[in-house]
Amino acid sequence: MPEYKGMVQPTRASVAEMRKIHIEPVSDEIKPDKAIEFLDQIRKKFRSFVIAMESCTKCGLCAENCHTYLGTGDPNNIPTNRAELIRKIYKRYFTLEGRWFGKLVGAEDISLDVIEQWYSYFYQCSQCRRCAHVCPFGIDTCEVTFIGRQLLHWLGISPKLHATTGAAMEKVGNHTALPKPGIVDTLEFMAEEVLDEFGVEVEFPVDKPGSDIMYIPSSADFLLNPYTLMGAGMFFTYIGANWTIPSTVTEAGNFGFLFDQYWTQRGNVMRLLNVAQELGIKKIVWGECGHGWRAAKMYIPTLADRPVRWPLTHIHDEIANLILKNELKLDPSKNSKPVTLHDPCNYVRACGLNDNMRVIMNACVTDFREMCPHGADNFCCGGGAAILFDDPEMYRRRILLSKKKAEQVRATGVGKDGEGILCAPCSICKAQLYPMVEEHELGVEVKGLIDLVGKALVWK
Amino acid sequence: MKLLIGQILPYITVTLFTLGILYRLGRWAGARIVHNITLSPWLQTNSQVAIRVSSEAFLFRNLFRFDRALWAGALLMHFALLNVLGGHIVGFGFLGEQFALIPGLGITPELSREISGLLGSIFGIVLWIALLYLLYRRFTKEAVKMVTEPSDNLWLIYLLVLVGIGNIMRFVPGYHIEYELVRDYISALILFHPVVDMDLLNSVFFLAHLLLVQILLIVFPFSKLMHVFGMFAERYIVNRVYNDPAPGLPNVDVASARKAGLGVPDGDAAEEEV
């Protein structure tokens, strides 16, 4: 069902697909009542949600700071209005002003139509937190859409993309349903590629017991972004690390974070901790994945059901650290094409990776041009929160959602001669931008940041 | 009417206002901060957090960075409002002679009353105009129009009327009210003395002003005006101290790895040796 009463919606998971991730869809007759019941439960738990419901003054500052609204012009894509889709219900059932003044303060009765609105608009939100970043109070609409998606999930409404990905994670430990033999084969193939292209001998150890470092790549790096994984392999070889990739968690991402922050997200956290213990590693290093890094760095401490014994770090932090200590020999002239950096939202507004990405960039390329705005002020690529839906209506919407990003890239002029590089060190950004740079004819190639590091390393 | 608005309602207002705010704050405190959702770039010390939160709360930092017009309007409105509220307290409390109490300035009580009056007039006008701008903005700016509920406009209109009446009492000589009268009225209320016979309550404007203020205070805890507290509650969640763990990989010695020529194919390494 790509559209409902004029609203675009991603294709839904079937009942069977929902059951695979342990959800029994709620029938339409009792859906509204159940929605209120779930909302009542969850509102008592999350203060960030309560404050977002009760403290907004509707100043409207968020509107023109949201790429979704800028791209679509749809009033419901203004962050505060998107939150209002749930706030109007919240007011009606859980506040005195809503019960007494109703329409005057924008309160509304729950109905199936409202639930369908949630499904449409909460899955157009990239959860990029730019609204939280600009809000004079710091109200985080991302918290509202997290909870909106959670309610929908409990009601049995999740996009096919998210639900099947969640099921794949539970089955094999990555989003792309790649089993261990496939992982090993791909890595062997990659090692050959590295030798052919860079003249470097690299080994990608899988499940190696007694490793010091456990590297968690994004599963998309096996298929879509091979140079990112190859770059990581070259980096670990270069520094002589005793490292391994665990076959049971070949996934830096965690889609649970994006639609089910209870079982799906926690299940994958526990899976990670299990394999860390089995392999006897000392440190976990995370690959390029925006939401996944936020889910790991900021959420594992509160999601893990037992003490976390391993320090977690991002490969960018480690590379930047070695660059600052002057231990890596990098030749920027190997990356001489003009490069601009798309700051993944989760890196810069939720994980503090801003400076380190620039340390790496400046050491690895000759012609680095900043976008405007950049860093914590940056706009999302339009694919954030994995709204990478491919059905035609949603795909057209993705083009609109990436409009602001396209303007930014164009303004840097890196693609003027058709051979610029758009560095987007996040798997979701990459997946969104690969087709979008074509749609907007930006004349750039999308690459990760480790790709550039791998290329710039000087071996002899 | 005088009995109701001037004598009985104030006690009800104070009770509902206090309990209402406690209820709302308790409701917020009841929900937890579940995950760490601090916004980066990180604030690394408590003083950085204090500076960030106060620059947001008192200087409206984000509005300044992202919307100058709104920043000007909102800051003027809130700053004037703060002064008007403070002016009510010191004006009635010290009969306008508060500035004479500041040691070392040599301000006479007469001068202090002049200053007090002047400041009151300025902030009264600024407040009203800033409110008018905020209302104008709600009707003219496309994106703002789209987020506005009827109650958002009503609040602004309500405040315009409330402040307008205050300004009338200040600027129209016929309706002017002396500080002393109000001071006596408030102290009588505090001491639970009867106030119904006071001359002050015969002023229709005063009675209207008093009624509007009381309705506002009663509704305050149940409305969006709670953003005064909500802002601090939200900042407490998203602006906290965070320090990245120290980087550094276990058992990694880059220098010796490079010396050993790791990754460099044997043939090449041999060449290098030769």
As separate numbers, helices (DSSP H) first and strands (DSSP E) second, chain B gives 13, 0
The whole-angstrom separation of Cα A38 and Cα A140 is 20
Establish whether this prediction's ipTM goes over 0.90: yes
Residue A75: which of B66, B146, B264 has the nearest Cβ? B146
% of chain A exceeding 90 in pLDDT: 98
The verdict on residue A182 lying in a domain is yes
Q: Do A37 and A129 reside in the same domain of the chain?
A: yes
Domain boundary among A282, A305, A322: A322
DSSP 3-state of A446: strand
As a whole number, the mean pLDDT across chain B is: 94
Which residues on neighbouring strands pair with residue A313, listed in sequence order? Answer: A285
What is the pLDDT at residue A460? 85
Relative to beta strand A312-314, strand A243-244 is unpaired
pLDDT band at B274 (very low <50, low <70, confident <90, very high): very low
CATH number for the domain harbouring residue A61: 1.10.1060
Percent of residues in chain A assigned helix, strand, coil, to nearest 5? 55, 10, 35
Contact B210, B6 (CB under 8 A): yes
B270 pLDDT above the threshold of 90 = no
B56 pLDDT above the threshold of 60 = yes
Span A391-401, mean pLDDT?
A: 95
Residue type, A106: G
What is the pLDDT at residue B267? 60
Which residues on neighbouring strands pair with residue A421, listed in sequence order? Answer: A339, A445
Q: Count CA atoms closer than 13 A to A122's CA, side-chain side.
A: 29
Residue A47: which of B150, B237, B272 has the nearest Cβ? B237
Using alpha carbons, select from A302, A310, A230, A232 the residue that is nearest to residue A272: A310
Using alpha carbons, select from A388, A84, A254 the residue that is nearest to residue B35: A254
Q: Do A67 and A153 reside in the same domain of the chain?
A: yes
* pLDDT tens per residue across span B237-258: 999 999 999 999 999 999 999 9
Residues 6+ apart with CB under 8 A from B117: B96
Q: Do A72 and A120 reside in the same domain of the chain?
A: yes
Q: Which fold has domain B2-39+62-226?
A: Fumarate Reductase Cytochrome B subunit (1.20.950)
Q: Do A233 and A104 reside in the same domain of the chain?
A: no
Residue type, A237: T
- CB contact under 8 Å between A101 and B264, yes or no, is no
Q: Do A335 and A314 reside in the same domain of the chain?
A: no
Residue B70: which of A61, A301, A322 has the nearest Cβ? A61
Closest approach of B58 to chain A, Cα-based (Å): 11
The verdict on residue A208 lying in a domain is yes
- CB contact under 8 Å between A242 and B239, yes or no, is no
Q: Do A218 and A237 reside in the same domain of the chain?
A: yes
* pLDDT tens per residue across span B192-237: 999 998 989 999 999 999 999 999 999 999 999 999 999 999 999 9
Q: Do A81 and A153 reside in the same domain of the chain?
A: yes
Span A411-435, mean pLDDT?
A: 97
Domain count for chain A, please give it: 3
As a whole number, the mean pLDDT across chain A is: 96
What is the pLDDT at residue B266? 81
What is the pLDDT at residue B268? 52
DSSP 3-state of A207: coil
Whether residue A373 has a cis bond before it, omega within 30° of 0:
yes
A155 pLDDT above the threshold of 70 = yes
Identify the closest residue of chain B to A204 by CA–CA distance. B263
Pure H helices in B98-149: 109-140, 142-147
- CB contact under 8 Å between A64 and B143, yes or no, is yes
The whole-angstrom separation of Cα A285 and Cα A297 is 11
Counting one residue from chain A and one from chain B, the pairs whose CB atoms sit within 8 A come to: 242
CA angle at A252 for the pair A206 and A268, rounded to the nearest 5°: 90
The whole-angstrom separation of Cα A131 and Cα A140 is 7
* pLDDT tens per residue across span A211-250: 999 999 999 999 999 999 999 999 999 999 999 999 999 9
B94 pLDDT above the threshold of 90 = yes
Domain boundary among A306, A322, A338: A322
Q: Residue B178 — left, alpha, or beta (φ > 0 → left; ψ -120 to 50 → alpha)?
A: beta
Domain boundary among A157, A188, A206: A157
- CB contact under 8 Å between A138 and B258, yes or no, is no
Q: Please list every residue in chain B whose beta carbon sits closer than 8 Å to the beta carbon of residue A143.
A: 37
* pLDDT tens per residue across span B148-203: 999 999 999 999 999 999 999 999 999 999 999 999 999 999 999 999 989 899 99
Residue A138: which of B32, B41, B239 has the nearest Cβ? B239
Q: Please list every residue in chain B whose beta carbon sits closer than 8 Å to the beta carbon of residue A129.
A: 39
Contact A310, A283 (CB under 8 A): yes
Q: Please list every residue in chain A whose beta carbon sits closer than 8 Å to the beta carbon of residue B267.
A: none
Closest approach of A15 to chain B, Cα-based (Å): 30
What is the pLDDT at residue B8? 96
Span B85-90, mean pLDDT?
A: 96
Contact A87, A122 (CB under 8 A): no
Q: Please list every residue in chain A whose beta carbon sits closer than 8 Å to the beta carbon of residue B249.
A: 212-213, 239, 241, 283, 285, 318
Q: Do A218 and A115 reside in the same domain of the chain?
A: no
Span A438-455, mean pLDDT?
A: 97
Its domain, for residue A219, covers 173-322
Q: Do A250 and A313 reside in the same domain of the chain?
A: yes
Choose from B146, B154, B273 for mutation: most chain A CBs within 10 A: B146
Using alpha carbons, select from B220, B217, B160 the residue that is nearest to residue A96: B220
Span A35-58, mean pLDDT?
A: 97
B272 pLDDT above the threshold of 70 = no
What is the pLDDT at residue A3? 78
A23 pLDDT above the threshold of 90 = yes
- CB contact under 8 Å between A95 and B222, yes or no, is yes
A335 pLDDT above the threshold of 90 = yes
Contact A284, A313 (CB under 8 A): yes
- CB contact under 8 Å between A63 and B251, yes or no, is no
- CB contact under 8 Å between B233 and A51, yes or no, is yes
